Amino acid sequence: MLYQLGPLAIDTMPFSADAMSRDGGGDLAAKDVMNRLRPREFMGEADEKMQISGQLLPAKVGGLTELEMAHAMSRAGTALPLMRGDGKMFGWFVIERVSEAHVDLLRTGVGFTVKYTLELVKVEPDSSDQSGSPSPQGIVGMLLSLFEAL
């Protein structure tokens, strides 16, 4: 397993990834002063964003079901835990955008190769008790959206 985003396993087959980028930092507020550089005040953690991209071969190994699952999870907007294959937990993320491009179309209209990008943004978990477990409403919404994808 390369990454696990909630129920979506991103592995070498059938839903593979070949690139990941991560962007984050801190939010700083600039204060206007005379005859000096503007001092900065730390306001907290900035949005952490991640991009996972890859290429699928649906006619040979599949992967379209997982891609549709990613679309459904994006539409649901549910916070999901993201873990890397070595066990590192990145926190809770929502899928902000799913992009896909079909190349060398087959008779079915599906590309022989499908390039995709998942854009994720870090959020607080869907929980009122801050224990890290999702709320019952979040779980039900995620399950319903997954069944719609299948």
Classify residue 35: in a domain, yes or no.
no
Number of structural domains (the chain) is 1
Classify residue 20: in a domain, yes or no.
no
In this structure, what token pair is assigned to residue 82? 């993201």
Give the whole-angstrom CA distance, residue 63 versus residue 99: 14
Give the whole-angstrom CA distance, residue 96 versus residue 8: 15
For residue 57, the 8-state DSSP code is B
pLDDT at 70: 95
Structural domain including 104 reads 3-15+53-149
DSSP string, 116-127: EEEEEEEE--S-
Angle CA(41)–CA(131)–CA(47) in degrees, nearest 5?
A: 35
Classify residue 23: in a domain, yes or no.
no
Classify residue 24: in a domain, yes or no.
no
Mean pLDDT by runs of 10 across the 150 residues of the chain is 93 92 91 89 90 94 94 93 94 96 93 96 71 56 57
Give the whole-angstrom CA distance, residue 90 versus residue 87: 9
pLDDT at 54: 95
Classify residue 21: in a domain, yes or no.
no
Q: Which of 120, 103, 106 is nearest to 22 (CA)?
A: 120
pLDDT at 128: 43
Classify residue 37: in a domain, yes or no.
no
In this structure, what token pair is assigned to residue 81? 């835990």
Classify residue 139: in a domain, yes or no.
yes
How close are the terminal C-alpha atoms of the chain, in Å? 22
Classify residue 32: in a domain, yes or no.
no
